[in-house]
Amino acid sequence: MTDETVNTAEVETSDEIGTDPVCGMPVDVEIARESDLVSEYADRQYAFCGRACRDRFLAEPIAYAIAGRDAP
Protein backbone atom coordinates (compact mmCIF):
# COMPACT_ATOMS: atom_id res chain seq x y z
CA MET A 1 0.00 0.00 0.00
CA THR A 2 1.37 3.43 -0.92
CA ASP A 3 0.91 6.76 0.78
CA GLU A 4 -1.25 7.95 -2.11
CA THR A 5 -3.86 5.19 -2.32
CA VAL A 6 -5.84 3.20 0.21
CA ASN A 7 -5.96 -0.35 -1.12
CA THR A 8 -9.08 -1.94 0.33
CA ALA A 9 -7.92 -5.39 -0.81
CA GLU A 10 -5.25 -5.34 1.90
CA VAL A 11 -7.59 -4.67 4.83
CA GLU A 12 -11.03 -5.70 5.99
CA THR A 13 -13.77 -3.67 4.38
CA SER A 14 -16.82 -2.18 6.02
CA ASP A 15 -20.39 -2.33 4.80
CA GLU A 16 -20.24 1.30 3.76
CA ILE A 17 -18.79 1.62 0.28
CA GLY A 18 -18.80 4.99 -1.45
CA THR A 19 -17.57 6.24 -4.79
CA ASP A 20 -14.65 8.63 -5.16
CA PRO A 21 -16.22 11.71 -6.83
CA VAL A 22 -12.99 12.43 -8.74
CA CYS A 23 -12.02 9.09 -10.29
CA GLY A 24 -15.12 6.96 -9.68
CA MET A 25 -13.24 4.27 -7.75
CA PRO A 26 -15.13 2.36 -5.01
CA VAL A 27 -13.99 3.51 -1.56
CA ASP A 28 -14.42 1.87 1.83
CA VAL A 29 -15.73 4.89 3.73
CA GLU A 30 -14.52 3.69 7.14
CA ILE A 31 -10.97 3.28 5.86
CA ALA A 32 -11.16 6.66 4.14
CA ARG A 33 -12.21 8.27 7.45
CA GLU A 34 -9.32 6.62 9.30
CA SER A 35 -6.92 7.84 6.62
CA ASP A 36 -8.24 11.44 6.61
CA LEU A 37 -9.62 10.94 3.10
CA VAL A 38 -13.13 12.25 3.74
CA SER A 39 -14.19 15.82 3.09
CA GLU A 40 -17.46 17.67 3.45
CA TYR A 41 -18.92 19.98 0.82
CA ALA A 42 -22.44 21.43 0.69
CA ASP A 43 -23.58 19.36 3.68
CA ARG A 44 -22.47 16.06 2.09
CA GLN A 45 -19.47 13.91 2.85
CA TYR A 46 -17.22 12.63 0.09
CA ALA A 47 -14.72 9.78 0.48
CA PHE A 48 -11.58 9.51 -1.64
CA CYS A 49 -9.32 6.68 -2.74
CA GLY A 50 -6.18 8.73 -2.08
CA ARG A 51 -4.72 12.13 -1.33
CA ALA A 52 -4.39 13.12 -4.98
CA CYS A 53 -8.14 12.73 -5.58
CA ARG A 54 -8.96 14.48 -2.30
CA ASP A 55 -6.69 17.40 -3.22
CA ARG A 56 -8.20 17.68 -6.73
CA PHE A 57 -11.68 17.74 -5.19
CA LEU A 58 -10.72 20.39 -2.63
CA ALA A 59 -9.26 22.58 -5.39
CA GLU A 60 -12.55 22.51 -7.36
CA PRO A 61 -15.31 20.93 -5.25
CA ILE A 62 -18.21 22.29 -7.26
CA ALA A 63 -16.92 20.68 -10.45
CA TYR A 64 -16.91 17.21 -8.88
CA ALA A 65 -20.05 17.63 -6.77
CA ILE A 66 -22.03 18.69 -9.84
CA ALA A 67 -20.64 15.76 -11.84
CA GLY A 68 -23.21 13.63 -10.04
CA ARG A 69 -21.00 10.94 -8.56
CA ASP A 70 -22.40 9.21 -5.49
CA ALA A 71 -21.33 10.46 -2.09
CA PRO A 72 -21.30 8.30 1.02
pLDDT 10s digits, 15-63: 789 999 999 999 999 999 999 999 999 999 999 999 999 999 999 999 9
Is the Cα torsion angle 45, 50, 53, 55 positive or negative in sign?
positive
Residue 54: which region, alpha, beta or left (left: phi > 0; alpha: psi -120 to 50)?
alpha
- The model scores a pTM over 0.85: no
Residue spans of the domains in the chain: they are 8-66
